[in-house]
Amino acid sequence: MRHHPCDVLFVHRDAEKEPKERRLKEIRAAAGTAGFPPFVPVVPVRMTEAWLLIDETAIRQAAGNPNGEAALPLPKVARLESVADPKGVLRTCLIEASEKTGRRLQQFERDLPERIQRVAELISDFSPLRQLPAFQDFEQEARRVVTNLLAAPGP
């Protein structure tokens, strides 16, 4: 926070197998202790990577093969919160989308963290996630924090 001050802080914590309320309590406790600015909790049911499984085009572009035709094992949006290993599914989708083999595949796999980040950058429409309760909560909280920030008197 000292090196990168902000007006709003987005605090991510995957729920994984814990109840969402427990994760929110952890975030609020940390915020109180650390003196966060206004913050928005981001608590996906499993992992944030599940939220990246909504855009086949972004995945293909991040894989460097936008015109590829390999079938990708993308779940339906309504099932995203029940995918057991979204990180693994996203990695598999990127590898399949790349259509690489041999040494080129080995190099591609070393670059997977950057490619996963690239998927997030390439998604221009997250509105399909509005079907998911965890995303609805995130969006509602983000709106609340931004509205309060804009309504507050200036310095």
Structure tokens at 146: 């931004």
Does the structure show a pLDDT above 80 at 83? yes
Q: pLDDT tens digit string along 23-41?
A: 999 999 988 888 788 999 9
Yes or no: say if 72 and 52 are a contact pair by the CB < 8 Å rule. Answer: no
Of residues 126 and 153, more confidently modeled: 126
Yes or no: say if 25 and 13 are a contact pair by the CB < 8 Å rule. Answer: no
Yes or no: say if 49 and 90 are a contact pair by the CB < 8 Å rule. Answer: yes
Closest Cα to residue 99, out of 59, 55, 69, 57? 69
Q: What pLDDT, on the 0 to 100 scale, is given for residue 34?
A: 81
Closest Cα to residue 11, out of 30, 98, 22, 106? 30
Q: Where are the beta strands (DSSP E) in 1-155?
A: 9-12, 39-42
Give CA–CA dist 72/75, Å, rounded: 9
CA 80 to chain CA mean position, Å: 12
Q: What pLDDT, on the 0 to 100 scale, is given for residue 155?
A: 65
Q: What pLDDT, on the 0 to 100 scale, is given for residue 35?
A: 78
Yes or no: say if 80 and 86 are a contact pair by the CB < 8 Å rule. Answer: yes
> What value does the mean pLDDT take over residues 63-85?
95
Q: pLDDT tens digit string along 140-153?
A: 999 999 999 999 88
